[in-house]
Amino acid sequence: MQLVKVGLCAYGMSGKVFHAPFLKEHPGFYMAAVVERSKEESKAKYPESTIYKSVEEMLQQADLDLVVVNTPVQTHFEYVKMALEAGKNVIVEKPFTVNTSEAEALVTLAKEKKLFLSVYQNRRFDRDYLQVQKILETGKLGTLKEVEIRFDRFRTEPSAKEHKENPKLNGSGALHDLGSHLIDQATQLFGFPEKMFADVFSMKGSAFANDYFEILLYYKNDLRVRLKSSVFSKEAHYAYTLHGNKGSFLQERTDNQETELVAGAIPILNKDWTKPLTQPDGILNYENENADSERILTSSEPGNYMNYYQEIYEHIVFGNPLPSPAEEIIQNMKIIEAALESFKEGKVIDLKDN
């Protein structure tokens, strides 16, 4: 089996939870290097990985095929550019960059260097999102009229992460963070919208980056898709609400991969490794071919973030399609920028020329 040597740019929460465990357990990857500026925490679980004190040092000294840029978004442009110029393929955490111009410049550079650049949109592999895809493919909802996708939390106190909380830093706040997931899911399911309107602000006060957003996407055939996130949501809403001319589907947010990974779960390739559901997590209510109403409680199948890394491996070894290629994610960056403009100007933004 071809072994892909990988360097991890940071060993914080993202490195510990979303990347290192998968690189360790996938037989096609070898985590050859990891950057830890002041600590050596990775040594306990990954003694085979050489620790470097900076990204620059790792790129200069380590023998790598692939670099994972999982540092704060404000550093993504610098480190991705550095890795590409060093001749390395790159996976970059979401959000891709702080703005569209940076994203476009990196895509151009990757093409010039004949290297791949993929954005880690891991929530394409959540069980709840996969269930929505499955229901839509059945056609049971008919022509869609209204969709809402939410990602709510109850976190009324600011975190200690400066790069996420400081409103003076480009790329901080929920719109770039959770918004990059919801926008990606909307564009994957429904394509690029024609227009949009947004409300973006901080419920915790102006001293903090935005922690609330509501984005209304306008599509052809009068489809409306609403994306929403709040940190003052003590009681959960349905994460996905879809209404069509033949029925409705409601789906809870039940993917528990992040929670289990934080607790120490070991991800497995081609096998379910998360705890099974104890009860249904969705409701499908539709008119069948006899025009009779059917209301069904549905249960989603487990997701697996390992599938992202499997697709990366298959791209490297077999030339299969690259998961979430960076040029595809540029459209998401355009919607993020348009949302900020819409809120600032208080108007609907036409996206057809973007």
CATH label of the domain that carries residue 57: 3.40.50.720
Q: What is the pLDDT at residue 354?
A: 72
**So what's the pLDDT on residue 161?**
82
User: What is the radius of gyration, based on Cα positions, of the chain?
Assistant: 21
In this structure, is the dihedral angle defined by the CA atoms of residues 106, 110, 115 and 116, taken in order, positive or negative? positive
137 and 226 belong to one structural domain: yes
- Select from 120, 147, 165 the last residue of a domain: 120
* Mean pLDDT in residue range 34-39: 95
pTM over 0.85: yes
- 188 and 128 in a common domain: yes
Co-location of 339 and 285 in the same domain: yes
Q: Are residues 227 and 84 in the same domain?
A: no
Per-residue model confidence (pLDDT) at position 331: 97
In a domain, 287, yes or no: yes
Based on the domain organization, do 207 and 253 belong to the same domain? yes
The total number of structural domains that make up the chain: 2
Q: Which tens digit of pLDDT belongs to each residue from 126-185?
A: 999 999 999 999 999 999 999 999 999 998 888 878 888 999 999 999 999 999 999 999
Question: Among 102, 120, 138, where does a domain finish?
Answer: 120
- Domain ranges, residue 95: 4-120
Q: What percent of the chain has pLDDT over 90?
A: 93
Across the range 234-252, mean pLDDT stands at: 96
- 249 and 280 part of one domain: yes
